[in-house]
Structure 1
Amino acid sequence: MLRVVIAEDAVLLRAGLTEILTRGGHEVAAAVGDATALAEAVEAHRPDVVITDVRMPPDFRDEGLRAALDLRARYDPLPVLVLSQYVATAYATQLLTGGGQAGLGYLLKDRVGEVGEFLDALRRVAEGRTVIDPEVVRVLLGRRTAATPLDRLTPREREVLGLMAEGFTNQGIAHRLHVTEASVVKHAGNIFMKLDLDPAEGNRRVLAVLAHLRGGPD
């Protein structure tokens, strides 16, 4: 059972998330509608994981993401799952490349197809893993205007990297791509070599890869 704080300004969606989590066996310690209340709820309840939207009152811009950045800095490790309708490129890149020891997720609301998938993503984030929607990766990759080490990757290596970003293990990637686990290990090794990454870094390898995306315009 996870102790969860939800920040979502849409009343019906907030109630729906509360119901889904409760039915999934988790405890919703607080469900709030703005970034200020989110900070207060985290201070009061010290949850296992936070679920937050991007746009919230008063300005409906990036208040949720900015709050997530602040909370992760203050309460590291604090797993955060961002559940949004769009990719807020500037703060998303900052969040995803900001380091920290806690799990991190960024999912798009209209691409979450099943309750089971959502609960599984939440569990992985709470366990300290990184779960990023492939569309988020695509948008952030599209922001790059100059050549980066990512350009060295083959199409297959990009597929493997995308599944890494979603939090899949080597075994899970092999299943999704219908290849052997040994093949995935080889592709991963090539990725680490081409991007000058240490393969022992765990989830930090995904954040290190995403750090290469910071060069594009907002």
Structure 2
Amino acid sequence: MRVVVADDSVLLREGLVRLIEESGSKVVAAVGDGPSLVAAVGEHEPDVSVVDIRMPPTHTDEGLRAAVEIRAEHPGAKILVLSQYVEVSYAGDLFADREGGVGYLLKDRVTDVDELTDALRRVAAGGTVLDPQVVSQLFAARRDPLAALTPREGEVLALMAEGRTNTAICRKLVVSEGAVEKHIGNIFGKLGLAQSDSDHRRVMAVLTYLRL
């Protein structure tokens, strides 16, 4: 297999490269951020990419967002997410096309090299590999659409439900108006509220909040 590795930790990245190559596969690129991952996949067209979630610049969900972008730009690209965290906000998008060739494992629960190698081969062959903890949190997020929101986004939505304007939310949370607009945009995206001439997304988001 030809593999791309993306992890912001140099030690972990190099460790993964060594383990993967010792198992008989070839690492064609090893990178430390989302844009470099997208570029490496476009250049090398690997059989599978191993992707961490939290990478520069914000160390939140850059890797997962890059993985979603890769699947959109290169249909059928194989992705194995390997992280310490379960991030549900974009994980659903990663699995949404149901084409297979995706996996999501937690680093602390991968107990040996053979398990990682097997997961890589299954994903590269078009299979799906999921840690049970990831599955449970993804199902929980489907039951509660607000579960995908970050704590700050939850605060912004709660203030929206109080009828506060963006300016009032800025003052309350002591953040810039641009930050509030970004949070509101994220809320709309995570709640699946596309821009429409017939619906008011702000009202729809508040209604979703009040129903739960």
Same-fold call, TM cutoff 0.5: yes
Task: Give TM-score scaled by structure 2 length.
Answer: 0.66
* 1:39 CA displacement: 1.3
**Aligned residue for 2:173?**
none
Higher RCO by CA contacts (8 Å cutoff, separation 6 or greater): 1
Which consecutive residues of structure 1, in runs of 5 or more, have no partner in the other structure? 147-213
CA distance in 1, matches of 2:17, 2:23: 10
Identical columns (%): 52
Amino acid at match of 2:141: R
CA distance in 2, matches of 1:89, 1:143: 7
Amino acid at match of 1:49: V
Stretches (4+) displaced over 2 A: 141-146
Pairwise CA RMSD: 1.8
* 1:145 CA displacement: 4.0
Task: Give TM-score scaled by structure 1 length.
Answer: 0.64
Instruction: Give the 3-state SS of the residue equivalent to 2:27 in structure 1.
Output: strand
8 Å contact 1:53–1:82 — kept in the other structure? yes
**Aligned residue for 2:2?**
3
8 Å contact 1:83–1:106 — kept in the other structure? yes
8 Å contact 1:8–1:32 — kept in the other structure? yes
8 Å contact 2:50–2:81 — kept in the other structure? yes
CA distance in 2, matches of 1:144, 1:49: 27
CA distance in 2, matches of 1:127, 1:55: 26
Which consecutive residues of structure 2, in runs of 5 or more, have no partner in the other structure? 145-191, 193-207
* 1:138 CA displacement: 1.3
Residues 27-47 of structure 1: CA deviation (Å, up to 9, x unaligned): 000000001111111121111
**Aligned residue for 1:112?**
110
Cα distance change, pair 137–27 in 1 and its aligned pair in 2 (3 A)? same
CA distance in 2, matches of 1:49, 1:127: 9
* 1:141 CA displacement: 2.3
**Aligned residue for 2:141?**
143
